[in-house]
């Protein structure tokens, strides 16, 4: 407990109160019952700006009582720490708590310290400091760290994949050559011809896997150009429809003029990978895959988006198929993770999609809820350079 005697410090009470008014923090003094006896100017300004009534936090208000109406666990813990200081059970308490406004996230740090006035009465000084910038920075650093941890396995695997794909291609080239010679030496009716055809199909599937392995080393945009997203979505939808049964539909909606500057071939592969994932979720069901193109900025704090971008384009691939479990969602972007229900996946599609998106300054997010279905969202920064040309192309 701190003894307060301004005279012994050589300052007047007026000077002390003026100093507290000059602080950026919100300060109030409580009596032994937790009621407000004094507030500084920043406290009054904050209350007025946020529509807080004097009965709630002004002089004479039951501040401890108001705090007991806490909604979150963090609020409740802060209130209990404040109560212990007011009751004399603890000399000091420090705690962080959220205090979000309708328009922005906010966090504050509360420091409560008991004191004894010159007349022997006990009180508590409470200081609230805005720590929003610190919390957002910490969230951003944590997000960056998570993304680096996720990228490291991809980078390590990518180096090995380069060598592996090269060796596979050499072996496959020889195998394909011998297969073609064997097929030329047989007639279509020969019993062995069917076996040779099956071997050729197996080689084609292996070659497709090698191509995916090579994709891991070619995720950087090498030929960026203006890409009209609605036009790209229509192209990919045409490819996807050809592989789906008649009981499953593909719909494309959205802004026909929205465009980004990107490697068109990589963006087409990325979107096709997202659609293949949706096709896996729809396997064996009657349902619809929707591709929606719009402007939308992803939630703050992901730590990987292009910081200079003022706006983002979003391509959402939505389906009403099988819902993913929390465990499946956690492993969705891991290389070679193949969900049990997968029909089209080699386990590389979403890993490659995420790597391509990040190297274009964007990201990919996934949600899977029983009441809303599955949604994979690709976010890409909209850059002014080349945008007009892309829009002209889209409208041509």
Strand order in the sheet with 312-319: 248-254, 287-295, 312-319, 373-381, 363-369
% helix, strand, coil for the chain, step of 5: 45, 20, 30
User: To which CATH superfamily is domain 2-130 assigned?
Assistant: PAS domain (3.30.450.20)
CATH 3.40.50.300 assigned to domain 222-396? The reply is no
- Count of CB atoms within 10 A of residue 312's CB? 21
pLDDT confidence of residue 333? 79
pLDDT confidence of residue 348? 57
Q: Judging by beta carbons within 10 Å of its beta carbon (0-12, 13-18, 19+), is residue 78 exposed, middle or buried?
A: buried
What does residue 66 show for φ and ψ, rounded to 5 degrees? -65, -35
DSSP 324: P
Residue whose C-alpha is closest to residue 315's, from 215, 225, 231, 212: 231
Query: In angstroms, rounded to a whole number, what is the distance separating the alpha carbons of residues 255 and 358?
Result: 23
Q: How many residues are there in the chain?
A: 396
Query: In angstroms, rounded to a whole number, what is the distance separating the alpha carbons of residues 302 and 201?
Result: 42
pLDDT confidence of residue 302? 43
Three-class SS state of 64: helix
Query: In angstroms, rounded to a whole number, what is the distance separating the alpha carbons of residues 21 and 23?
Result: 6
HSE (side-chain half, CA atoms, 13 Å) at 214: 13
Residue whose C-alpha is closest to residue 90's, from 80, 99, 98, 100: 80
pLDDT confidence of residue 338? 58
Question: Which fold would CATH assign to domain 142-217?
Answer: Helix Hairpins (1.10.287)
> Looking at the whole model, is its pTM more than 0.75?
no
HSE (side-chain half, CA atoms, 13 Å) at 27: 14
What per-residue string of b and e applies to 243-263 under the rule 16 or more CB within 10 Å gives b?
ebeeebebebebbbbbbbbbb
Q: Are 317 and 353 in contact (CB under 8 A)?
A: no
Domain edges within the chain: 2-130, 142-217, 222-396
pLDDT by 10-residue block (mean), the chain, 396 residues:
49 67 83 88 86 80 75 68 88 87 86 85 88 84 63 54 64 77 83 82 71 55 83 91 88 93 87 88 89 84 46 93 85 66 54 83 89 92 53 44
Sign of CA dihedral 20, 24, 25, 30: positive
């Amino acid at each position: 407990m701190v003894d307060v005697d301004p005279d012994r410090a050589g300052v007047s009470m007026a000077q002390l109160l003026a100093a507290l008014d000059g602080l950026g923090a919100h300060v109030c003094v409580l009596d032994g019952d937790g009621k407000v006896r004094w507030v500084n100017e920043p406290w009054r300004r904050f209350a007025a700006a946020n529509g807080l009534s004097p009965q709630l936090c002004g002089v004479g208000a039951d501040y401890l009582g108001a705090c007991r109406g806490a909604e979150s666990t963090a609020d409740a813990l802060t209130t209990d720490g404040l109560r212990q200081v007011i009751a004399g059970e603890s000399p000091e308490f420090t705690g962080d708590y959220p205090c979000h406004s309708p328009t922005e996230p906010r966090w504050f740090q509360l420091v409560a310290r008991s004191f004894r006035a010159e007349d022997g009465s006990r009180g508590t000084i409470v200081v609230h400091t805005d720590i929003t910038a610190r919390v957002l920075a910490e969230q951003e650093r944590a997000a960056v760290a998570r993304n680096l941890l996720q990228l490291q396995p991809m980078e390590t695997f990518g180096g090995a994949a380069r060598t592996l794909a090269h060796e596979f291609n050499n072996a496959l080239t020889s195998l394909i050559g011998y297969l073609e010679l064997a097929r030329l030496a047989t007639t279509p009716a020969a019993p062995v011809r069917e076996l040779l055809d099956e071997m050729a199909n197996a080689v084609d599937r292996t070659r497709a896997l090698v191509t995916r392995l090579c994709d891991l080393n070619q995720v950087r945009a090498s030929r960026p150009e203006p890409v009209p997203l609605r036009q790209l979505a229509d192209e990919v939808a045409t490819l996807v429809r050809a592989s789906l049964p008649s009981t499953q539909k593909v719909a494309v909606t959205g802004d026909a003029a929205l465009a980004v500057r990107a490697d068109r071939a990589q963006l087409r592969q990325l979107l096709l990978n997202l659609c293949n994932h949706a096709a896996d979720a729809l396997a064996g069901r009657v349902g619809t895959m929707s591709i929606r193109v719009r402007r939308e900025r992803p939630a703050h704090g992901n730590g990987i988006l292009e910081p200079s971008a003022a706006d983002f384009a979003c391509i959402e691939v939505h389906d009403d198929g099988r819902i993913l479990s929390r465990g499946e969602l956690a492993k969705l972007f891991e290389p070679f993770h193949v969900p049990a229900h997968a029909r089209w996946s080699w386990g590389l599609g979403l890993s490659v999609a995420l790597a391509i998106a990040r190297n274009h300054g964007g990201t990919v997010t996934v949600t899977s809820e029983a009441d809303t279905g599955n949604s994979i969202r690709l976010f890409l920064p909209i850059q002014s350079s080349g945008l007009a040309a892309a829009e002209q192309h889209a409208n041509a």
